[in-house]
């Protein structure tokens, strides 16, 4: 009897050791609030709107130490509507991200699956980021809000002398309606951090890219009429983004420039956006933020002012107030703050009060 008992004890010890080297973490976020829009397609509206200042998410993070500085890891993350309980991203179970990867402390990390392209890194250089998605480009042409690629392979280097870089390739096969890359896509980035200074350059290039061009605020894009709620697929979407930040004690100054080129049937147009602003930590539990944005597409112009107040009830829960005002110029161009319907005039104002919880 001693041998079987010893074997069971040894197996139990090995099982405990493997378990101790593996971790799975549940995480998520819930954001909800009340939004007022003074001109929503010709009339004012007050509505519940969720996932604006922080995308709603529920997910799992897993990691296993493989020894020798190497680890295996995965991420499964879904999005959802806090007001209806519906799944986000077209009803996908893990529509936000679903990938598996291997990492080494010396050689970097490689991941495979549905994941954000590197343009999402520019979020950290968007002034007034806590003010939410109302502050991004009207139709999110530059993908700064964070968009995913299907069938993607991504490599990221470790940090060396303050530098970090990455490259990504997404295959176009079986992309489906839930993807933002019906064709192949590539993305690359270089980041640098030195003390209070940080900067990044990102390039993303997508073939057959679905866009919400109808939310731009112009009746036509690339010579074709666009409907506000319809997907508009362009032959190519090329994004170049440059962001920088500098922290002065309790104040952080940020600037972000994006240049997005859209091509369709031999015709091309470029959208250029500049955001300038900063965040002021008045107290550890109170943050004030503001920015100005300038957007140019073809002959159209949009000027947006954004301000926000964020009060932290704890490290995981905060309440906030956001204000956004936009003015458009050029005949036929209307204001169209992101996540709202185009205005019927050249002006639009949005205010929001909400609560956000992280877990």
Give the tens place of pLDDT for each residue, 171-214. 987 666 667 889 999 999 999 999 999 999 999 999 999 999 99
Name the residue among 180, 208, 152 with its Cα closest to residue 90: 180
Q: What is the pLDDT of residue 176?
A: 63
Read off φ and ψ for residue 163, nearest 5 degrees.
-100, 145
Q: Is the pLDDT of residue 166 over 90?
A: yes
Q: How many domains, the chain?
A: 1
Ramachandran category for residue 48: left, alpha or beta (phi over 0 → left; psi -120 to 50 → alpha): beta
Please indicate, yes or no, if residue 237 is contained in any of the structural domains. Answer: yes
Q: What is the pLDDT of residue 177?
A: 61
Q: What is the pLDDT of residue 9?
A: 36
The pTM assigned to this predicted structure is: 0.91
Please indicate, yes or no, if residue 135 is contained in any of the structural domains. Answer: yes
Please indicate, yes or no, if residue 128 is contained in any of the structural domains. Answer: yes
Please indicate, yes or no, if residue 230 is contained in any of the structural domains. Answer: yes
Stretch 290-306: mean pLDDT, rounded?
97
Name the residue among 36, 201, 52, 197 with its Cα closest to residue 129: 52
Q: What percent of the chain has pLDDT over 70?
A: 93
The helix (run of H) or strand (run of E) holding residue 9 is helix 2-20
Q: What is the pLDDT of residue 229?
A: 81
Lowest mean pLDDT among 25-39, 146-160, 173-187, 287-301: 173-187
**What's the rounded Cα separation, in Å, for the pair 93 and 66?**
29
Domain that holds residue 195: 24-358
Stretch 235-240: mean pLDDT, rounded?
98
Instruction: State the CATH number of the domain containing residue 108.
Output: 2.40.160.10
Please indicate, yes or no, if residue 5 is contained in any of the structural domains. Answer: no
Q: Do 234 and 262 contact (CB within 8 A), yes or no?
A: yes
Please indicate, yes or no, if residue 15 is contained in any of the structural domains. Answer: no
Q: What is the pLDDT of residue 3?
A: 43
Please indicate, yes or no, if residue 97 is contained in any of the structural domains. Answer: yes
For residue 351, the cross-strand partners are 36, 323
Cβ-based neighbour number of residue 318 at 10 Å: 22
Please indicate, yes or no, if residue 8 is contained in any of the structural domains. Answer: no
Name the residue among 216, 46, 235 with its Cα closest to residue 136: 216
Lowest mean pLDDT among 17-31, 143-157, 266-280: 17-31
Read off φ and ψ for residue 4, nearest 5 degrees.
-60, -40
Q: What is the pLDDT of residue 179?
A: 77
The helix (run of H) or strand (run of E) holding residue 240 is strand 232-248
Q: What is the pLDDT of residue 228?
A: 85
Stretch 282-308: mean pLDDT, rounded?
97
In tens, the pLDDT along 43-89 reads 999 999 999 999 999 999 999 999 999 999 999 999 999 999 999 98
Kindly indicate the confidence band of residue 130, based on its pLDDT and cuts at 50, 70 and 90. confident
Q: What is the pLDDT of residue 18?
A: 44
Higher pLDDT, 10 or 205: 205
Q: What is the pLDDT of residue 91?
A: 86
C-alpha distances in Å from residue 35, one per residue of 45, 94, 305, 324: 8, 27, 17, 11
Mean pLDDT for the chain? 92
DSSP-derived 3-state class of residue 11: helix
In the block, tokens 């010579």 appear at 223
Stretch 218-226: mean pLDDT, rounded?
92
Q: Which pair of tokens denotes residue 157?
A: 């280097």
Cβ-based neighbour number of residue 276 at 10 Å: 15
Q: What is the pLDDT of residue 204?
A: 98
In tens, the pLDDT along 88-108 reads 988 889 999 999 999 999 999
Q: What is the pLDDT of residue 129?
A: 86
Q: Do 297 and 269 contact (CB within 8 A), yes or no?
A: yes
């Amino acid at each position: 009897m001693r041998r079987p008992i010893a074997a069971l004890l040894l197996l139990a010890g090995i099982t405990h050791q493997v378990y101790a080297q593996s971790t799975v973490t549940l995480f998520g976020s819930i954001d909800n609030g009340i939004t007022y829009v003074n001109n929503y397609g010709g009339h004012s509206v007050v509505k519940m709107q969720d996932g604006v200042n922080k995308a709603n998410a529920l997910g799992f993070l897993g990691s296993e130490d493989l020894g020798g500085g190497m680890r295996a890891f995965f991420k499964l993350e879904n999005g959802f509507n806090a007001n209806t309980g519906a799944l986000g991203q077209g009803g996908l179970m893990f529509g936000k991200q679903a990938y598996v990867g291997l990492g080494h402390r010396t050689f970097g990390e490689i991941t495979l699956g549905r994941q954000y392209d590197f343009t999402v890194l520019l979020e950290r250089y968007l002034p007034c980021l806590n003010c939410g998605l109302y502050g991004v480009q009207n139709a999110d042409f530059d993908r700064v809000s964070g968009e995913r690629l299907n069938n993607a392979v991504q490599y990221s280097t470790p940090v060396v002398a303050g530098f970090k870089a990455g490259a990504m390739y997404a295959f176009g096969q079986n992309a489906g309606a839930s993807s933002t890359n019906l064709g192949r896509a590539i993305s690359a980035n270089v980041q640098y951090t030195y003390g209070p200074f940080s900067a990044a350059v990102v390039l993303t290039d997508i073939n057959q890219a679905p866009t919400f061009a109808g939310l731009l605020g112009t009746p036509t894009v690339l010579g074709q009429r666009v409907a506000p709620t319809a997907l508009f697929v362009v032959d190519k979407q090329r994004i170049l983004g440059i962001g920088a930040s500098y922290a002065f004690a309790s104040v952080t100054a940020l600037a972000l420039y994006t240049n997005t080129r859209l091509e369709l049937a031999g015709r091309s147009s470029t959208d250029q956006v500049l955001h300038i602003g900063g965040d002021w930590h008045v107290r550890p539990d109170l943050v004030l933020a503001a920015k100005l944005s300038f957007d140019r597409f073809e002959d159209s112009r949009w000027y947006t002012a954004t301000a926000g107040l964020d009060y932290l009830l704890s490290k995981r829960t905060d309440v906030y107030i956001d204000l956004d005002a936009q003015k458009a110029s050029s005949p036929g161009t209307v204001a169209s703050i992101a996540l709202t319907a185009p205005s019927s005039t050249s002006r639009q104002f949005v205010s929001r009060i909400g609560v956000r919880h992280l877990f």
